């Protein structure tokens, strides 16, 4: 009279059926991150170089000021001692500024090294995540193969884009006309199927019931739903 296949598909939140396109996007995202990080490090280095250039220019200007001071001291012998003292003070300040510039350069190099270490650590985390995802997909694939083999011993079970599809033909389960109650002689096969499915975790199970073309479409849809819900109760994370 009708058939009622059961569909088993991996949870959409899992990584087991992640398409190659998703892997390509992940690789592209990692490449973009590496490029952005390289640009950022280059930008930081360029800022440090420009800062040092400005500092050297400023020191050059100060040196020229000292030369002019010495020339004025020669022309003004009465203020020679005072100008010489001031020149010594300016020279000391210039030395301190040069030391400060060297310290800033050292700090910039340390920051660049830290950024490289952080980038390497993030790359390592990304590699580990990729390996874990691959391992997860391998485990899910092995689990699906075992599940297909177990269900295939009960009824026809095949792999589709939706997951595993198990079809119970009219010889396996039949409903009386306009009824949704499962006859006692069919409960053994359903209990065998349920015994396999209740052990699963991370899967979505959908059960579909069908009718013939007698009656209206709305009524037949409601009858199909009642027949689907009449199968043995599954855990709460499954749906009928």
Looking at residue 86, its pLDDT comes to 86
Looking at residue 70, its pLDDT comes to 64
Residue 203 pLDDT > 80? no
The chain-wide mean pLDDT, for the chain, equals: 79
More confident site: 87 or 119: 119
CA angle (159, 196, 151) in 5-degree steps = 35
Looking at residue 122, its pLDDT comes to 93
Q: Residues 51-89: pLDDT tens digits?
A: 888 888 888 888 888 778 767 767 776 776 777 788 888
Joined together, the tokens standing for residue 167 give: 């079809």
Q: Residues 6-47: pLDDT tens digits?
A: 444 444 444 445 566 777 878 888 888 889 888 888 888 888
Residue 123 pLDDT > 70? yes
Q: What is the pTM of this model?
A: 0.40
Joined together, the tokens standing for residue 53 give: 């250039």
Looking at residue 209, its pLDDT comes to 72
Residue positions counted in the chain: 240
């Amino acid at each position: 009279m009708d058939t009622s296949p059961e569909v088993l598909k991996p949870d959409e939140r899992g990584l087991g059926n992640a398409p190659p396109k998703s892997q390509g996007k992940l690789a592209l995202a990692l490449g973009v991150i590496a490029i952005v990080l390289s640009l950022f490090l280059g930008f930081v280095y360029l800022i440090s170089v420009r800062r040092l250039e400005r500092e050297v220019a400023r020191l050059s200007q100060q040196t020229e000021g000292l030369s002019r001071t010495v020339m004025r001291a020669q022309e003004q012998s009465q203020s020679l001692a005072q100008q010489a003292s001031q020149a010594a003070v300016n020279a000391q300040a210039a030395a301190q500024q040069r030391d400060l510039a060297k310290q800033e350069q050292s700090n910039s190099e340390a920051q660049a090294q830290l950024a490289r270490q952080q980038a390497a650590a993030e790359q390592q985390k990304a590699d580990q995540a990729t390996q874990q995802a691959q391992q997860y997909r391998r485990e899910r694939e092995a689990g699906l193969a075992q599940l297909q083999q177990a269900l295939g011993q009960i009824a026809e079970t095949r792999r589709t884009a939706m997951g595993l599809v198990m079809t119970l033909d009219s010889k396996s389960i039949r409903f009386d006309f306009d009824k949704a109650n499962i006859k006692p002689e069919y409960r053994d096969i359903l209990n065998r199927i349920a015994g396999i499915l209740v052990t699963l975790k991370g899967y979505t199970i959908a059960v579909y019931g069908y009718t013939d073309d007698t009656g209206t479409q709305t009524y037949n849809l409601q009858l199909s739903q009642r027949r689907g819900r009449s199968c043995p109760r599954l855990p709460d994370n499954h749906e009928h």
